[in-house]
Amino acid sequence: MTNFDFLKNEPKFKDFADVAISAERIFQFDYAASVLNCRRAMEFAVKWMYSVDSALFMPWDDRLVSLMSTDEFRDIIDADLLKRMEFIRKTGNFAAHTGQKVKKEQAELCLQNLYIFLDFVAYCYADHYTVSNYDSTLLQENSAHTADQSVSQPVGDRAGQSETDLKLEQLLKENAALREELTARREEQQQTYVTKPLDISEYETRKIYIDSMLQDAGWTEGQNWINEYRVPGMPNKSQVGYADYVLLGDDGKILAVIEAKRTCADVAKGRQQAKLYADLIEQKQGRRPVVFLTNGFDVRI
């Protein structure tokens, strides 16, 4: 049993149901493969939405980033849900193209975010919708159940998965008869959908999102991106502070300081702390770093 089994109750979801189920089944054995399947399931579901919803118009190309960026798509997907989807897209790109290790926490968050997106899809387009919640304990149960069995291979291979395509043109032909019916259903259902807000109550969760943004921008942890950087000379009892992140230039000097808020408060409340770090770093290296403030979603410079 997986969190995505509900999708199999709707034959129209066949294009992405099996991929989502595979993403969860492979989780305990290969985090990167799980993330790749999360991204692929999301891409298939987004393309399916374009094929059945007449409010969505094909952009200049059908890459996932383009499909998620149209005004029409963003009119349907609220900002919090879009941030969840962006995390899946960026983490999937990281897994597909860098060869670096995907962390367990990243893979688990991809599964949770995928579930919330596909739950929204089901709410808007399914013939019969049943309220349910993501159950993280199923990840452990699936691990125990499959430990002594051959593990189902993820859909697609690690190297080529991001390139594996579901042709939107073919979907449009297959689902032409459904467009009027499902568009009307989505327009009605969307009015009563209760958004599941982003859970940013835990600093550890917010850090996963910040790490994803840094990875997507091309920074490498432990090389030009340093966590918990020690800054001496702070006006406190120990006279030492720790910047959440610093980013290094090719010359080894600090280009930027990132202050990650440990509360859900306005990110600007970290400004004074970050300013002190920047002052001390400037005194030491003779060049002032850029300061970024973020809680994982809102970013200020």
Q: Give this prediction's pTM.
A: 0.84
Q: Note whether residue 196 is domain-resident.
A: no
> Are 240 and 167 part of one and the same domain?
no
- Rounded CA separation 127/115 (Å): 18
> Are 210 and 122 part of one and the same domain?
no
Of 129, 156, 190, the residue at which a domain comes to its end is 190
> Are 148 and 42 part of one and the same domain?
yes
Identify the helix (H) or strand (E) that includes residue 240.
strand 240-248
CATH number of the domain where residue 252 is located: 3.90.1570.30
Write the pLDDT tens digit of every residue in 47-99.
Answer: 999 999 999 998 888 899 999 999 999 999 999 899 999 999 999 998 888 87
> Are 25 and 62 part of one and the same domain?
yes
> Are 177 and 267 part of one and the same domain?
no
Buried b (16+ CB within 10 A) or exposed e, 216-247: eeebeeeebbbeebebeebeeeeeebebbbbb
Q: Note whether residue 271 is domain-resident.
A: yes
Tokens found for residue 144:
């125990």
> Are 182 and 266 part of one and the same domain?
no
> Are 121 and 207 part of one and the same domain?
no
Q: Note whether residue 198 is domain-resident.
A: no
> Are 31 and 170 part of one and the same domain?
yes
Of 190, 216, 240, the residue at which a domain comes to its end is 190
> Are 164 and 266 part of one and the same domain?
no
- Rounded CA separation 288/282 (Å): 4
Q: Is the pLDDT confidence value at 155 over 60? A: no
Write the pLDDT tens digit of every residue in 246-284.
Answer: 999 999 999 999 998 765 556 666 788 899 999 999 999
Q: Note whether residue 126 is domain-resident.
A: yes
> Are 228 and 163 part of one and the same domain?
no
Looking at the structure of the chain, the number of domains it has is: 2
- Rounded CA separation 101/113 (Å): 20
Q: Note whether residue 197 is domain-resident.
A: no
Q: Note whether residue 93 is domain-resident.
A: yes
> Are 163 and 128 part of one and the same domain?
yes
pLDDT level of residue 179 (50, 70, 90 thresholds): very high
> Are 169 and 209 part of one and the same domain?
no
Q: Note whether residue 195 is domain-resident.
A: no
pLDDT level of residue 127 (50, 70, 90 thresholds): very high
Domain encompassing residue 240: 203-300
Q: Note whether residue 180 is domain-resident.
A: yes
Of 166, 190, 214, the residue at which a domain comes to its end is 190
